[in-house]
Amino acid sequence: CGQLFSAISHDLRTPITRLRLRVEFLEDEQQQRKFSRDLDELELLVKGALQCVKDTDIHENIEPVHLNALLECLVEPWLTADGDGRVTQQGETQ
């Protein structure tokens, strides 16, 4: 999966880099700035899209969670020493 992201990233960034080099040869500085800003924005979009895809692991293994045990671990630090702490939970079971 990591190699795939690396390849996609390279394939998308190579044309952007090539365009940046071409922009440097433009004689009009205002045009250079405009194209550079557009390329910066495009690069941010590519980075954001790749990060989004990278963060979405479609091969994630879904496992059942023992909700009561999890909630006990989360609530336990908040209970008072004398046992007067009161915690309620609501929700639907599946």
Render the chain in DSSP notation, one character per residue. Answer: -HHHHHHHHHHHHHHHHHHHHHHHT-S-HHHHHHHHHHHHHHHHHHHHHHHHHHH--TTPPP----HHHHHHHHHGGGS-TTS-----------
Q: What is the pLDDT of residues 53-89, one digit of tens each?
A: 777 655 556 778 787 777 777 777 666 666 666 666 6
Can you give the C-alpha Rg of the chain in angstroms? 26
The residue extents of the domains of the chain are 2-55
Q: What is the pLDDT of residues 26-41, one digit of tens each?
A: 999 999 999 999 999 8
State pTM to two decimals: 0.52
